[in-house]
Amino acid sequence: MKLLAEKFLKLMGKDKLLIFQSDFLPLLVISNWMSYYDPQGKLINFTPFILVRKGRMSKAWISDTKYIRASKETIKRILDESYDFDFIKKRYAKVKADNEKMYEQYYISQQKNKLQELKNIYNLLVELVRATIFIERVDKKILEEIISELKLKVDFNKVWEASQILNFKTFETAHNEEIISGYNNPERLQHIFTNYTHVPFRNEVKKELQKINLKEIKIEIAKSKKKIAENNKKLKEIEKNLSVEEKKLLNCLHWLMFARDDRKVVISKNHALIFNLVADLFEEWGIDKNLVKYPIIQEVFKGKEFVLNNLKRIEARKNNYVILYESDLQVEQSEKDIDLNLALLEERTILETDYQNNEIHGEIGSKGKEVGKVKIILHQGDFSKFKTGEILVTGMTRPEFVPLMKKASAIITDEGGITCHAAIMSRELGLPAIIGTKIATKILHDGDEVEVDANTGIIRIIKHG
């Protein structure tokens, strides 16, 4: 029987791969939301994608070629003004407002038709991603190519340096402010502790809040506000020496970074609602609520009878599995040959990079240079192993990684673009960061001594641990 990885790679053709890894919940990641509107309004899907779970970790692969095309096509049309940038901003603002309204209503009213509510909130997630997914793979190389093709008369390096000065409230600061204002109403803060890998049940939120030091986060909020004020002053001085075209480019880059960070709040609220509504439905249907993490959302849409008839398949996702997703109507699952599937996919990923001579290349997330020892952290269960001064190496950072990032001397990720969480937080913390390496977690090992040259985007292995 053909491996699902073989089928996936055949479907991918010559497309380059993008890898994500974490302890993903099938409910929140396996769906048709990976799509976008091209500048002509046509819907383009990123499928197929494949997800492999082994032990506590999942790895997902998708077409990086399609991701990059989405970014390049859309930003090119924004900069040549054939695509209305204000329309993009307004569409994002509307989806955000609709999502916020549904989140608030869930906690104050009884849902009469939970299955329909689930479909409604999921449709908002799909619309949000389609409207903004072009943000995710923006990098310096793509921008340089666009500027060259459009023959824009701008000093790109000057604009690029200015774009690295953050002038907006980050996701973490927004969450900290919500914790302060909503501490006495813990259920509505469920989204604070929600991500692609974990959603607490509503009655668990209070316990999570009790772990937080309110005094410390008030200090963090004050620091962040002061830093933003200082950065805005710097930017005003810089903008005095920018042309109209350069200002337009800078404003575009800052909005892309803002939206990528801001929408994390929107997505976390959406995911909390999806989780809650599926948990409510499972309770009504007499299904163990601890299984709520494991169905694919389209399975839930098919109703009680379908879920009950497929419980064995859903329960199998507690353990190792491979899922190949081509469309809602074409989803294949196997619990066999996990290592063979992983080996094929990882071999292809490494072949697509320019790893050689003990050097790993990535994108500059935040400038600087640091030498130190590597510690690979892939999930929250390993956080306690991280020591102050080590170099944090991970697939991608998320809000729960912030305490580790504050202890790190530098950051390296597999995933990333200039708008990703690791890039934005490393700039705020003043840490050297190299992102989007694709292979750092595969090539590097705990204890390796490396030089992180985030001025050039190169990681040099000095000595293996």
What is the predicted pLDDT for the residue at 12? 95
What is the predicted pLDDT for the residue at 410? 97
What is the predicted pLDDT for the residue at 1? 67
Q: Is the peptide bond before 295 cis (omega within 30 degrees of 0)?
A: no
Low-confidence ranges of the chain (pLDDT < 70): 1, 39
What is the predicted pLDDT for the residue at 416? 80
Domain 356-463: state its class: alpha beta
d(CA 248, CA 136): 20
Q: Where are the domains of the chain?
A: 4-333, 356-463
47-to-66, 67, 250, 438 alpha-carbon distances in Å: 9, 11, 32, 19
Burial bucket for residue 14 (CB in 10 Å: 0-12, 13-18, 19+): exposed
What is the predicted pLDDT for the residue at 195? 86
In 24-154, the DSSP E strands lie at 35-37, 43-45, 49-54, 57-63
In sequence order, what are the beta bridge partners of 434?
A: 364, 412
What is the predicted pLDDT for the residue at 65? 93
What is the predicted pLDDT for the residue at 44? 85
Could you tell me which of 114, 127, 115 has the C-alpha nearest to residue 301?
A: 115
What is the predicted pLDDT for the residue at 400? 83
